[in-house]
Amino acid sequence: MRSRIDSGEKALVPYMTGGLGDWVTTVGAIASAGADAIEVGIPFSDPVMDGPVIQEASRRALEAGTTPGSVLDELSTADVGVPLAVMTYANLVYRFGWDRFADALVVSGVSGAIVADIPLEESEPWCAAADARGVETIMLGAPTGSDARLRRVVVRARGFVYAVGLLGVTGERESLAETSSEIARRLKAMTDKPVLVGVGIGSPDQAAEVCEVADGVVIGSAVVRRALETNSPEAVGELVGEFRQAMS
Amino acid sequence: MGEPDAGGRFGDFGGRYVPETLMPALIELEEEFRAAWGDPEFRSELDHLLTEYAGRPSPLTECHRLSAELGCRILLKREDLNHTGSHKINNVLGQALLARRMGKTRLVAETGAGQHGVAAATAAALMGMECVIYMGEVDMGRQELNVFRMRLLGAEVTAAHSGSRTLKDAVNEAMRHWVSTVEDSYYLLGSVMGPHPYPWMVRELQRVLGSEAREQSLLALDQQLPDVVVACVGGGSNAAGIFSGFVDNPEVSLVGVEPAGGAAVGHGVPGIVHGMNSFLLQDDVGQVLEAESISAGLDYPGVGPEHSFLSQSGRVTYESVTDAQVIEAFVLLSRTEGIIPALESAHGLAWIVANSERLHGKSVLLNLSGRGDKDVAQMMDVLADRL
């Protein structure tokens, strides 16, 4: 991802819910379609940061018996060819054990993690476990944060800084929120780390627009919606290809 | 019951496990509440509302017939007589005043049985604010009357369709809504739960009922404190309120009563949900389980973090009762004292009934946290064969 950004291009990080249908094949298709890294969601029963699409995907995955262990096990045998990060919620990590979870990520070949409900104030035990094992904890910077707070976020962030594009939960929106470019601009002014915008980036056009400022995008609900509607890894790959093309 | 530490923890429990978007709002809320709570003008405005609008102080009622039947001396703290029918009004008036002081124009709230929702809608009407309330679809069915009351008061009631479609899911939806509207909305959480500062703030706002109950008990019991203080526990705000009046007197036993199908302290293990680390009903990998209780207000898999702390420290004992015991207690108080209790409050009485032998000769103070009018339609079905 770093080399793509250094050469003036934009990074594309799609999200896929672990345990949803033929998700491992889908992750492979996403990689082949030009993703620079992939976020794999470990589904949680009470995902307060997620909108209806990822809620529904999580529900289906849980119904199919998905657990944090099953997602990590399957990832350990998958050969995706791009860096992987998991996105999940604090209780699943806490219950697994901060250290044990970080160990399990390493064993599964996962290099990064986003824990949606661990803000800076609660980050110490998890980040200590992750840092000790070289797992990169991606921190979120939100439009509500003061400059002083965002500066602390970028210092703590590893891998890239996840700029929250709008006030709200994950999900596509009709148009790109003004806050998307603004938060990217604020964060870019503070750090040399890559700044990727996520939440509310639903179309290739919106991705291209925000990339005028940002170093790249995270696209979640649009990808998961395609997976839910088609149940086809190829169709998901096609969508990711459209984002890739729009951003180049 | 003192302040949590700087990170909002009571011992190991509490904290602020929320999406980054909400953190600045929580930090601001703590500062604003601290300032307001130390401001005599704010306190006097709240006291005035509690007296002139909510009807405080609520009385303490000695139950002569019930005491004779059970062999212990039973006193009820009558939160059922407050405006809107429960202790929830104490918290809501305080937080609504705070919201106004912070320049917010919209209140967002979750509700289980609808008592907090009705109280929130009431405060919004009183102060001319917008109000959005999330309620589980299942709860909207069993608490139809409260849904109508909220709408009558001008609030928008939105169904939570996800998960168990009860209080847990209403909290999820309210939090999602707050993430989207954090700049102009105030999240009026209804119990001593959620991320810091809510557990502490809500307990401080409910402290009034514990302070009153302490003074009233001294008067009623010849300058003695009750031997045992009992309260039901869902999130735990009425219990936190009444315990706050007695926690510093180790000779007073404190008992929190959970529903058997939602006994977070009794059967849960520490977990993180809804912004807090606290005892939680969850499966082996950490997925939150669905509680199951006849009482919508206690149908919750978690509990406020200070209760987890009070359990761990041993100061409060947490016990549970079954739905069947609760139904009997509901009928018993109606028949012996002419007081129809909320199903939530009937949990406390059910525990007293089940333990009446070992309570023999003791004085027992029960927080009657709410009235049962809201439960009558539901109980008509449950008691159809008996009445």
- What does B260-327 look like in DSSP terms, one character per residue? GGG-HHHH-EEEEETEEEEEE-B-TTSPBPPP--S-GGG--SB--HHHHHHHHHTSEEEEEE-HHHHH
Distance from C-alpha of B338 to C-alpha of B376, rounded to nearest angstrom: 14
Indicate whether B214 pLDDT > 90: yes
- For residue A66, the model assigns a pLDDT of 98
pLDDT band, very low/low/confident/very high, at B163 (cuts 50, 70, 90): confident
pLDDT band, very low/low/confident/very high, at B270 (cuts 50, 70, 90): very high
Q: How many domains does chain B have?
A: 2
* ipTM metric: 0.97
Strand-pairing partners, residue B110, are B134
Closest CA to B376 of B341, B335, B352: B341
The reply to whether B229 falls in a domain is yes
The reply to whether A191 falls in a domain is yes
Q: Are A20 and A62 spatial neighbours (Cβ–Cβ below 8 Å)?
A: no
B52's tokens: 């002139």
Q: Which residues of chain B form beta strands (DSSP E)? A: 9-10, 13-17, 60-63, 73-78, 106-111, 130-136, 156-160, 185-187, 228-232, 253-259, 269-273, 275-280, 316-321, 363-368
Using the 3D structure, point to which of B198, B231, B246 is the last residue of a domain.
Answer: B198
Which residues lie closer than 8 Å to B154 by C-beta, 6 or more apart? B121, B124, B125, B131
In the DSSP assignment, the letter for residue B386 is: T
A46 to B22: CB separation less than 8 angstroms, yes or no: no
Whether B92 and B153 map to the same domain: the answer is yes
Q: Are A178 and A159 spatial neighbours (Cβ–Cβ below 8 Å)?
A: no
The reply to whether A145 falls in a domain is yes
User: Cβ-count burial of A235 within 10 angstroms (0-12 exposed, 13-18 middle, 19+ buried)?
Assistant: middle
B307 is catalytic: no
What mean pLDDT is predicted for residues B90-115? 96
Query: Residue A129 is part of a domain; what is its CATH number?
Result: 3.20.20.70
Q: Are B126 and B242 spatial neighbours (Cβ–Cβ below 8 Å)?
A: no
The reply to whether A4 falls in a domain is no
Indicate whether B61 pLDDT > 90: yes
What DSSP assignment string belongs to A154-170?
HHH--S-EEEE-SSS-S
Using the 3D structure, point to which of B198, B231, B260 is the last residue of a domain.
Answer: B198
Q: Are A56 and B163 spatial neighbours (Cβ–Cβ below 8 Å)?
A: no
- For residue A8, the model assigns a pLDDT of 86
The reply to whether B3 falls in a domain is no
A149 to B280: CB separation less than 8 angstroms, yes or no: no
What mean pLDDT is predicted for residues B295-319? 95
Per residue in B260-269, pLDDT tens?
A: 999 999 999 9
The reply to whether A24 falls in a domain is yes
Which residues lie closer than 8 Å to B57 by C-beta, 6 or more apart? B212, B216
For every one of its 248 residues, what pLDDT tens digit does chain A have, with 9 covering 90 and above?
A: 888 888 889 999 999 999 999 999 999 999 999 999 999 999 999 999 999 999 999 999 999 999 999 999 999 998 899 999 999 999 999 999 999 999 999 999 999 999 999 999 999 999 999 999 999 999 999 999 999 999 999 999 999 999 999 999 999 999 999 999 999 999 999 999 999 999 999 999 999 999 999 999 999 999 999 999 999 999 999 999 999 999 98
Whether B142 and B41 map to the same domain: the answer is yes
The reply to whether B97 falls in a domain is yes
Indicate whether B142 pLDDT > 90: no
Provide, rounded to the nearest whole percent, the portion of chain B with pLDDT above 70.
100
B181 to A142: CB separation less than 8 angstroms, yes or no: no
- For residue B56, the model assigns a pLDDT of 98
Whether B188 and B165 map to the same domain: the answer is yes
- For residue B1, the model assigns a pLDDT of 87
Whether B72 and B101 map to the same domain: the answer is no
E strand or H helix at A246, and its extent? helix A233-246
Q: Are B129 and B91 spatial neighbours (Cβ–Cβ below 8 Å)?
A: no
Closest chain A C-alpha to B170 CA, distance in angstroms:
11
Amino acid occupying residue A191: T
Whether B69 and B192 map to the same domain: the answer is no
Whether B191 and B290 map to the same domain: the answer is no
The boundaries of the domain holding residue B171 are 10-49+88-198
Closest CA to B366 of B381, B385, B387, B344: B344
What mean pLDDT is predicted for residues B137-142? 90
The boundaries of the domain holding residue A27 are 13-246
Higher pLDDT, B113 or B323: B323
- For residue A6, the model assigns a pLDDT of 86
Whether B272 and B313 map to the same domain: the answer is yes
**Phi, psi angles (nearest 5°) of residue A112:** -140, 165
Indicate whether B333 pLDDT > 90: yes
The reply to whether B305 falls in a domain is yes
Distance from C-alpha of A120 to C-alpha of A231, rounded to nearest angstrom: 37
Which residues lie closer than 8 Å to B147 by C-beta, 6 or more apart? B114, B135, B140, B157
Query: Residue B127 is part of a domain; what is its CATH number?
Result: 3.40.50.1100
Closest chain B C-alpha to A140 CA, distance in angstroms:
6
B19 to A49: CB separation less than 8 angstroms, yes or no: yes
A192's tokens: 């040399």
The reply to whether B203 falls in a domain is no
* Buried/exposed B185-204: b ≥16 CB within 10 Å, e otherwise: bbbbbbbbbbbbbbbbbbbb
The reply to whether A1 falls in a domain is no
Distance from C-alpha of B206 to C-alpha of B211, rounded to nearest angstrom: 9
Per residue in B65-88, pLDDT tens?
A: 999 999 999 999 999 999 999 999
Size of interface A-B (CB pairs under 8 A): 117
Q: How many domains does chain A have?
A: 1
Picking from A44, A45, A168, the nearest residue to B179 by CB comes out as A168
B287 to A59: CB separation less than 8 angstroms, yes or no: no
Chain B residues touching A68 at Cβ < 8 A? 285-286
The reply to whether B134 falls in a domain is yes
The reply to whether A2 falls in a domain is no
Amino acid occupying residue B214: R
Determine if the pTM surpasses 0.95: yes
Picking from A46, A67, A120, the nearest residue to B172 by CB comes out as A46
Q: Are B212 and B24 spatial neighbours (Cβ–Cβ below 8 Å)?
A: no
Using the 3D structure, point to which of B153, B180, B198 is the last residue of a domain.
Answer: B198
Q: Could you give the residue numbers annotated as active site of A?
A: 39, 50
Beta-carbon count within 10 A of A76 CB: 13
Whether B154 and B255 map to the same domain: the answer is no
Whether B335 and B279 map to the same domain: the answer is yes
Calculate the CA dihedral of residues B94, B97, B98, B104 and round it to 10 degrees. Answer: 140
In the DSSP assignment, the letter for residue B370 is: B
Quote the radius of gyration of chain A (alpha carbons, Å): 16
What mean pLDDT is predicted for residues B172-201? 95
Whether B268 and B360 map to the same domain: the answer is yes
Q: Are B118 and B89 spatial neighbours (Cβ–Cβ below 8 Å)?
A: no
B230's tokens: 């009992």
Per residue in A138-186, pLDDT tens?
A: 999 999 999 999 999 999 999 999 999 999 999 999 999 999 999 999 9
Whether B155 and B296 map to the same domain: the answer is no
**Phi, psi angles (nearest 5°) of residue A48:** -75, -15
Whether B262 and B180 map to the same domain: the answer is no
